[in-house]
Amino acid sequence: MAELIARRRAHRILVVSPAGPLLEQWRTEMRDRFGLRFETITSSGELQERRRSLVLGANPFDHVSYCLTSIDFAKQEKVLQELERTVWDLVVIDEAHHCVSLGSGADSEDSQRRRLAEVLARQTDGLLLLTATPHDGYDAHFASVVELLDPSLVDGRGGLRGERYRQHVVRRLKQHIKDPETGEPLFKDRQVFPCAVTFAPDSHPQFAAFQQALIAAIAPRLKQAVRRQKYGEVLAFLSLLKRSVSTTAACLQTLTRIRDRYTEMASSGEAEAESRRQRLKTLSEYRKRLERFGALSFEEEQDQAFLEAEDMAADLLDYGLEEFAGKIEEIQRTQRRLREQGKRIQTTRDALDVLIAMAQEALAEDPKLGALLREVKAIRMDKAKANLLVYTEYTDSQDAVLAYLREALSQGDLQGEVLAISGSDSEATRTAVTERFKTHDGIVLVSTDATSEGLNLHARCHHLLHVELPYNPNRLEQRNGRIDRYGQKEIPMVRYLYLAGSFEERLLMRLVAKYERQRLRLTFVPNTLGGLTTDDAQTVRLLEGLAEEENCLFKVAPREIRLVEEEPEDTTTPAYQELLSEVERAMTGFEKNAKSHAWLGDAGLNAEARLVADAELARQEGASLSDVDLLKFVCAALEADAQAGAIQRGANGVIELRLPPSWDHGLKDLPGYDASGPTLLLTEDHTRNQDERERKLGFLGRAHPVVRRALSRVRNIRFGEAGVWLDRRVSALAASVDHPALLCTYLGAIESPRGHEFERVLGVKVEQDGRCTVFDHPDQWLKLLDGGKAISPKDLWDRHFTAWGEAWSRQALDASKAAFEGIAEPWYSEHARLCEDEYEEVEKWLRTRVEAICGPVQQAQPGLFEEAVELPRWATQAAPLERLAAYATDGKNPVAARREADGILRLFRMREKDLAAHRKARTLAPIPLGLLMLLPLSEGGR
């Protein structure tokens, strides 16, 4: 992106990503690492605010050069209309798998995201689709993503055309990323530790009683739903069970909400039928989003929790918990003393009160909190000031963990500090907390899943603990990816805490074990697994298994979970066994698919060592052709344009630039910039973002505003007072030459109506006797500067070059022209071949699509014994383009098919026009860039 800006090929850029921390990460990374200030438009208010500052009818997106927006905001109809009326040089869609075409299985949101991607693909010259999930095991989904890049790569029926798509896709896995100097992998192998959290009636009587009571209350309703095949009605109870194995506090909060809402409904006599249908529909949509994306926003999480509690209250209003009375009294007799028994349970409200009372008594015995503290202390035994990241799904559990760890701090049982971030935090708070976590030691950071996407927390942390286990691998990988990512110097250590003897061990931990074994085999977890709460068949098995939990608690001995080798499934619960087997089949199916598409496995695509080596050579060649030390260049330009002392070099490589007023444009909000000076603090180490005084530091990239300012100052043709001026493009050097000479530089270029296609800078050394030496690589002419000394160019031309310089400079121009023609000749040959190949492929695609829509060409003249049938003109035409045009205008054909034909026509003509322009390449006259006067060192620059 920065390279395209530096080459003046990208002036308008749009980045689209999911809302939340990931979008903010784009903004900060572009600002801090490249000096690019992207403006965000993520709400109707921001869009309207920009519209107010423009003339009536103006498009706000036309007035933003570098724009950031979110997928779900941009897909709205009114916003999409604005995006359809503007064009971009480059569009980047992050998490592009959100924009696949799901066909008949798509809901309205999926369709809107897809339409957004299609609109942006049409309105941009360049398109980058970024995703860690390029292929989910369905070829049609993958083809729909490739189609956004180039519709001629697919056959229009959900399939790919041959292997041409491969040149448009790069898929590199962790093992492909190596240190360029040592060849060692840059990603460390993750280590995973299952941590069983044990409890029993003897050691945790109150907690054990609560677990038994909760299962006893819920199991009959689950069994009833399975019998009646009313699965959707009881899915909310799954969240209650999951909260019960997270922390007791999370479960207690939900029970309290259920009781309060139940009381309101019972007293008001609310009619719940239609309301409950709408609630179940909303909850179903939330579950689908969770299964697919791995996380919800904070607002969506809060809404989901409220709706689940309300739905459970409504269900209890219909079915009650009276059946629970006998079971709870039995539990009380076995677990509590007689004098502590409460009143007899007679109503559902009584049952809820009892459960809440038991949860309150179990708070002090919560085994997850104690186990978490022990794990933290065990890690700190090896490294006293280790940073640790703790993830939990629920804000209530986050509050419980924070309170428990901070109490340990106050008691001296834990050292350091405990911080927290959640989706409810402001961006400023989240940034401040994460920056402290990344720059200080001895911190335990407790986070929720609402912030598990888009955070880089690996700088000083390689330990992560899961308080509870989520259902799907997307959420797991989002959490683990906060520390197991590029730049991690240590081995990532991941600990999964699970409640032994509960369904968290019997089902969830075994699911995690399968995910981890799959990751070891393929180095990633494919997005191929069905949703446990969205797929009907899996939902039945899940509910059947949970309904049997009542018979398993304290009756089935906990088993060791192995993550490396396969293990026999737990046959004590047939429903769980079937569910785990289904997950295994999905993984096996993906691996079989990977055998036919090797790049789906661990081979990658365009990631072979040979291609990586070729890319590195190309990068090195490009760097050598434009070998410029940006910091030195900026400093030299600033010295020529500012007063003495404008550059202050401090300790540890920090440089302070004191900028003239004309240099501070575009620097607002960039790291290192202080408007009061104005000054700019810079570092040559791209990994540093602060100095010892915790002042932010900037890093110069080719697109940084101060680099562009330096270029504009150097490009000014003349400066000085009227009548006494100097050309900035002319310099002088006392060098190792025998006689005065000139070094002229020229830009040779080939352009087409699409813009510059090829460029090369050439140098020509002109001797006093007219000899010209052409250099086609900077290394060749830069050797002339070795050991030289810059001198003032004033009056040097008149003294040394007037007699011959002008004439021989024209000869140097001719020499550069001839040299560039020799360089351009092989380029033209390759260019013509590529254009011809591309045109042939587009024609093949057109013929394929025409036959798919119109069918095979039919004979206009019937056979000897065939009955004459009047055929439409398009059925007998042979030329594909004319045939398709006739089909599109035939009103007898289906509207959808005619629309598809018209779209193909427009696309083909656009591609044909683009290729025709691409073919019209021509060589421009060499453009003079600069002139260096070379004088012998013996003359001392006189």
Higher pLDDT, 569 or 610: 610
Q: Is the pLDDT of residue 163 over 70?
A: yes
Q: Which of 442, 473, 495 is the last residue of a domain?
A: 495
The DSSP string of 269-301 is T---HHHHHHHHHHHHHHHHHHHHHS---HHHH
Task: Kindly state whether residues 393 and 352 are assigned to the same domain.
Answer: no
Higher pLDDT, 620 or 217: 217
Maximum mean pLDDT: which of 187-201, 221-235, 627-641, 779-793? 187-201
- Please classify residue 134 by burial: count the beta carbons closer than 10 Å to its beta carbon, then call 0-12 exposed, 13-18 middle and 19+ buried: buried
- Please classify residue 109 by burial: count the beta carbons closer than 10 Å to its beta carbon, then call 0-12 exposed, 13-18 middle and 19+ buried: middle
Q: Tell whether 291 is covered by a domain.
A: yes
Instruction: Give the span between the Cα atoms of 253 and 379, in whole angstroms.
Output: 31
Q: Which alpha helices (DSSP H) does 123-247 contain, by range?
A: 139-149, 205-228, 235-244
Q: Tell whether 150 is covered by a domain.
A: no
Task: Kindly state whether residues 470 and 560 are assigned to the same domain.
Answer: no
The CB-side HSE value for 779 (13 A sphere, CA atoms) comes to 6
Q: Tell whether 177 is covered by a domain.
A: no
Q: Tell whether 140 is covered by a domain.
A: no
pTM, entire model:
0.79
Instruction: Give the span between the Cα atoms of 470 and 841, in whole angstroms.
Output: 47
| Backbone angles phi and psi of 668, in degrees to 5 | -55, 135
What is the pLDDT, as a whole number, of residue 830? 94
What is the pLDDT, as a whole number, of residue 624? 67
What is the pLDDT, as a whole number, of residue 813? 92
Instruction: Give the span between the Cα atoms of 44 and 27, in whole angstroms.
Output: 19
Q: Which alpha helices (DSSP H) does 572-721 contain, by range?
A: 574-596, 609-625, 630-641, 705-715
Q: Which residues contact 528 (CB under 8 A, 6 or more apart)?
A: 136, 137, 586, 587, 589, 590
Torsion on CA atoms 527, 532, 535, 541, rounded to nearest 10: 140
Q: Tell whether 866 is covered by a domain.
A: no
Instruction: Give mean pLDDT, residues 684-698.
Output: 82
Task: Kindly state whether residues 457 and 382 are assigned to the same domain.
Answer: yes
Task: Kindly state whether residues 773 and 877 are assigned to the same domain.
Answer: yes
Task: Kindly state whether residues 611 and 656 are assigned to the same domain.
Answer: no
**Range 422-432 burial, b when 16+ CB lie within 10 A, else e:** bbebeeeebee
Contact predicate 464/493, CB 8 Å: yes
- Split at pLDDT 50, 70, 90, the class of 337 is very low
What is the pLDDT, as a whole number, of residue 390? 96
- Split at pLDDT 50, 70, 90, the class of 97 is confident
Q: Which two tokens stand for residue 630?
A: 């940006």
Task: Kindly state whether residues 662 and 789 are assigned to the same domain.
Answer: no
Give the torsion sign (CA, 680, 684, 690, 694). negative
Task: Kindly state whether residues 104 and 32 are assigned to the same domain.
Answer: yes
Instruction: Give mean pLDDT, residues 694-717.
Output: 81
Instruction: Give mean pLDDT, residues 772-792.
Output: 85
What is the pLDDT, as a whole number, of residue 246? 93
What is the pLDDT, as a whole number, of residue 530? 44
Residues, the chain = 942
DSSP 8-state secondary structure symbol assigned to residue 548: T
Task: Kindly state whether residues 390 and 522 are assigned to the same domain.
Answer: no
Contact predicate 501/495, CB 8 Å: no
**Total structural domains in the chain?**
7
Q: Tell whether 356 is covered by a domain.
A: yes
Q: Tell whether 138 is covered by a domain.
A: no
The DSSP string of 694-763 is --B-B---TT-HHHHHHHHHHH-SEEEETTEEEETTEEEEEES-SS-EEEEEEEEEEEETTEEEEEEEEE
Contact predicate 575/545, CB 8 Å: yes
Instruction: Give the span between the Cα atoms of 452 and 389, in whole angstroms.
Output: 11
Query: Which CATH number does the domain housing residue 63 bear?
Result: 3.40.50.10810
Instruction: Give mean pLDDT, residues 378-385.
Output: 93
Q: Is the pLDDT of residue 558 over 70?
A: no
Q: Tell whether 928 is covered by a domain.
A: yes
Q: Is the pLDDT of residue 359 over 90?
A: yes
Q: Is the pLDDT of residue 729 over 80?
A: no
Task: Kindly state whether residues 424 and 352 are assigned to the same domain.
Answer: no
The CB-side HSE value for 19 (13 A sphere, CA atoms) comes to 15
| Backbone angles phi and psi of 724, in degrees to 5 | -130, 90
What is the pLDDT, as a whole number, of residue 720? 43
Instruction: Give mean pLDDT, residues 151-176.
Output: 83
Instruction: Give mean pLDDT, residues 329-334.
Output: 58
How does pLDDT run across 892-903, given as a tens digit for each residue?
899 988 988 998
Task: Kindly state whether residues 442 and 573 are assigned to the same domain.
Answer: no
Nearest CA to 138 out of 120, 122, 158 is that of: 158
Q: Is the pLDDT of residue 126 over 70?
A: yes
Q: Which amino acid belongs to residue 14?
A: L
Instruction: Give mean pLDDT, residues 146-175.
Output: 85
Q: Is the pLDDT of residue 254 over 90?
A: yes
Higher pLDDT, 207 or 110: 207
Contact predicate 45/743, CB 8 Å: no
Q: Is the pLDDT of residue 600 over 80?
A: no
Instruction: Give the span between the Cα atoms of 555 and 102, in whole angstroms.
Output: 45
Q: Is the pLDDT of residue 719 over 50?
A: no
- Split at pLDDT 50, 70, 90, the class of 588 is low
Higher pLDDT, 146 or 528: 146
Instruction: Give mean pLDDT, residues 729-747.
Output: 88
Q: Are strands 88-94 and 13-17 parallel, antiparallel or unpaired?
A: parallel
- Split at pLDDT 50, 70, 90, the class of 745 is very high
Instruction: Give mean pLDDT, residues 672-688.
Output: 86
Task: Kindly state whether residues 373 and 464 are assigned to the same domain.
Answer: yes
Nearest CA to 542 out of 239, 861, 755, 216 is that of: 239
Q: Is the pLDDT of residue 356 over 70?
A: yes
What is the pLDDT, as a whole number, of residue 524? 62
How does pLDDT run across 35-89, given as a tens digit for each residue?
888 999 999 999 999 988 888 888 999 999 999 999 989 999 999 999 999 999 9
What is the pLDDT, as a whole number, of residue 867? 64
Give the three-class secondary structure for 685.
Answer: coil
Average pLDDT, the chain: 82
Nearest CA to 880 out of 923, 837, 833, 912 is that of: 912
Q: Which of 364, 399, 414 is the last residue of a domain?
A: 364
Instruction: Give mean pLDDT, residues 462-481.
Output: 85
Instruction: Give the span between the Cα atoms of 400 and 467, in whole angstroms.
Output: 11
- Split at pLDDT 50, 70, 90, the class of 392 is very high
Instruction: Give mean pLDDT, residues 558-571.
Output: 56
| Backbone angles phi and psi of 417, in degrees to 5 | -140, 160
Report angle CA 673, 678, 679 to the nearest 5 degrees. Answer: 55
Nearest CA to 495 out of 614, 566, 391, 565 is that of: 391
Instruction: Give mean pLDDT, residues 353-379.
Output: 94
What is the pLDDT, as a whole number, of residue 627? 60
What is the pLDDT, as a whole number, of residue 595? 57
Q: Which of 110, 133, 156 is the last residue of a domain?
A: 133
Contact predicate 80/115, CB 8 Å: yes
Instruction: Give mean pLDDT, residues 151-163.
Output: 83
What is the pLDDT, as a whole number, of residue 603? 67
Structural domain boundaries enclosing 664: 628-715
Q: Is the pLDDT of residue 331 over 80?
A: no
The DSSP string of 433-463 is HHHHHHH-SSEEEEEEGGG-SS----SSEEE
Longest dimension (CA), the chain: 118
Task: Kindly state whether residues 852 and 908 are assigned to the same domain.
Answer: yes
What is the pLDDT, as a whole number, of residue 398? 94
What is the pLDDT, as a whole number, of residue 553? 61
